[in-house]
């Protein structure tokens, strides 16, 4: 069977860096051939973080960041090729998610914005690049997110067990995969994943995140605060729904902390519980879920994992159990989406995003 190599590039809401994979899709189960995680240099990280909120001359700053990030994506690909001894002409196409700087799926003019110029990626890698996956779904009335459930269904569906795949990145999203193939897949953002944990940790420590959830483990979950946070309308909203750091951020948290005298570690513990509880209320009982598989950086937060395991009505595993380490699922999903587009196949699920139609997603920038 002829190999079909694609590259996936993912940089999520955590702004921790770029995950890149080379994968072979010549059989149903994709083979992960090579991978890399490249942290953002701090000036680029700051440039991107600043764009996630309102500020002076955003159009100009976005234009510059689009180019800077496009170059960084291209360098990442070239370094990955070198390391893994692939040549650019082995690769059919790159699927690049881009960096989300705004996601407003509701309102009169819903829009989503991912940057990292694919023209530059194609020019500097000599590989056909596919990007801008979300806006075609939005053009059909969808939320543009989440897009990974179609990939989860294609790769992780089981005809023996009802499964849920949960990605805990900056935001957390779930895919519910019923064992009966005629039942619809359900997928949505459950709310914040690591984003509030990272932000609150950064307020109190000189590090980007709460390593292994150690700080949270020294605090006590405050059930009153937890229940108040869980009253946020987003958690009650029925799917399709998607969200981002423009909604769940420190300002959001502060509105609930006004007169709070809780020690900061208790707040970290409570935020950790918020991520766990909002994931577990995704309808596990309703859909008779038998197995949960977790991926994304949140898997390395032991306090979060312990809480999920204790409170879950069913078994909780890492996607490693299914043969793909949790770190590479999202990048692999964008390699898969590139393959879908390149072979004129659709990439969105109507029942997930709420789009009127399925569509071949993204724009193709030929090498």
- Does 272 bind ligand ADP (CB under 6 A)? Our answer is no
Tell me which of 83, 211, 254, 356 binds ligand ADP, using CB under 6 A.
211
- Does 301 bind ligand ADP (CB under 6 A)? Our answer is yes
Q: Which residues contact 159 (CB under 8 A, 6 or more apart)?
A: 179, 181
- Does 16 bind Mg ion (CB under 5 A)? Our answer is yes
**Rounded least distance, CB 248 to ligand ADP, Å:** 12
Task: Give the span between the Cα atoms of 246 and 195, in whole angstroms.
Answer: 11
- Does 83 bind ligand ADP (CB under 6 A)? Our answer is no
How crowded is residue 156: how many other Cβ atoms within 10 Å of its Cβ?
Answer: 21
Near Mg ion by CB under 5 A, which window of 4-12, 125-133, 177-185, 306-314? 4-12
Task: Give the span between the Cα atoms of 255 and 261, in whole angstroms.
Answer: 14
DSSP 185: P
Q: Which residues contact 61 (CB under 8 A, 6 or more apart)?
A: 47, 50, 51, 55
Tell me which of 8, 12, 144, 191 binds Mg ion, using CB under 5 A.
12
- Does 213 bind ligand ADP (CB under 6 A)? Our answer is yes
Q: Which residues contact 237 (CB under 8 A, 6 or more apart)?
A: none
Partner in contact with 242, chosen from Mg ion, ligand ADP, none, beta carbon below 5 to 8 Å by kind: none
Number of residues that bind ligand ADP (CB under 6 A): 20
Near Mg ion by CB under 5 A, which window of 5-13, 110-118, 282-290, 298-306? 5-13
- Does 146 bind ligand ADP (CB under 6 A)? Our answer is no
Task: Give the span between the Cα atoms of 183 and 164, in whole angstroms.
Answer: 14
Burial of 2 (0-12, 13-18, 19+ CB in 10 A): exposed
- Does 12 bind ligand ADP (CB under 6 A)? Our answer is yes
Element (H, E) at 191: strand 186-192
Tell me which of 118, 296, 347, 354 binds ligand ADP, using CB under 6 A.
296
Is the dihedral angle over the CA atoms 258, 260, 263, 265 positive or is it negative?
negative
Partner in contact with 232, chosen from ligand ADP, Mg ion, none, beta carbon below 5 to 8 Å by kind: none
List residues near ligand ADP by CB under 6 A.
12-14, 16, 169-170, 194, 197-198, 209-213, 296-298, 300-301, 330
Residues that bind Mg ion (CB under 5 A): 12, 14, 16
């Amino acid at each position: 069977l002829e190999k079909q190599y694609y590259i996936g590039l993912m940089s999520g809401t955590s702004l921790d860096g770029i995950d890149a994979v080379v994968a072979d899709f010549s059989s149903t189960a994709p083979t992960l051939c090579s991978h890399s995680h490249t942290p953002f240099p701090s000036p680029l990280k700051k440039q991107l973080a600043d764009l996630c909120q309102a500020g002076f001359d955003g159009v100009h700053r976005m234009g510059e960041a689009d180019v800077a990030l496009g170059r960084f994506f291209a360098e990442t690909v070239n370094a990955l090729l070198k390391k893994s001894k692939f040549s650019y002409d082995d690769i059919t196409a790159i699927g690049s998610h881009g960096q989300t700087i705004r996601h407003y799926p509701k309102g009169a003019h819903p829009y989503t914005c991912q940057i990292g110029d694919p023209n530059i990626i194609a020019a500097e890698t000599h590989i056909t690049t596919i990007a801008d996956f979300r806006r075609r779904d939005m053009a059909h009335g969808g939320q543009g997110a989440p897009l990974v459930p179609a990939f989860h269904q294609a790769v992780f569906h089981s005809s023996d067990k009802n499964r849920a795949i949960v990605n805990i990145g900056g935001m957390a999203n779930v895919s519910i995969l019923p064992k009966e193939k005629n039942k619809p897949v359900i997928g949505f953002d459950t709310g914040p994943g690591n984003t509030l944990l990272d932000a609150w940790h950064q307020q109190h420590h000189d590090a980007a995140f709460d390593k292994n959830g150690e700080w949270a483990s020294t605090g006590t979950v405050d059930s009153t605060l937890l229940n108040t946070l869980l009253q946020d309308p987003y958690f009650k909203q029925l799917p399709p729904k998607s969200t981002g750091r423009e909604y769940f951020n420190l300002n959001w948290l502060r509105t609930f902390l006004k007169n709070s005298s809780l020690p900061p570690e208790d707040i970290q513990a409570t935020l950790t519980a918020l991520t766990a509880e909002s994931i577990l209320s995704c309808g596990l009982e309703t859909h008779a879920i038998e197995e949960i598989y977790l991926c994304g950086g949140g898997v390395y937060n032991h306090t979060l994992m312990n809480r999920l395991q204790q409170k879950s009505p069913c078994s909780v595993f890492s996607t490693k159990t299914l043969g793909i380490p949790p770190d590479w699922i999202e990048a692999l999903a964008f390699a898969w989406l590139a393959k879908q587009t390149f072979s004129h196949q659709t990439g969105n699920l109507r029942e997930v995003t709420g789009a009127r139609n399925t569509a071949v997603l993204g724009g193709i920038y030929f090498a």
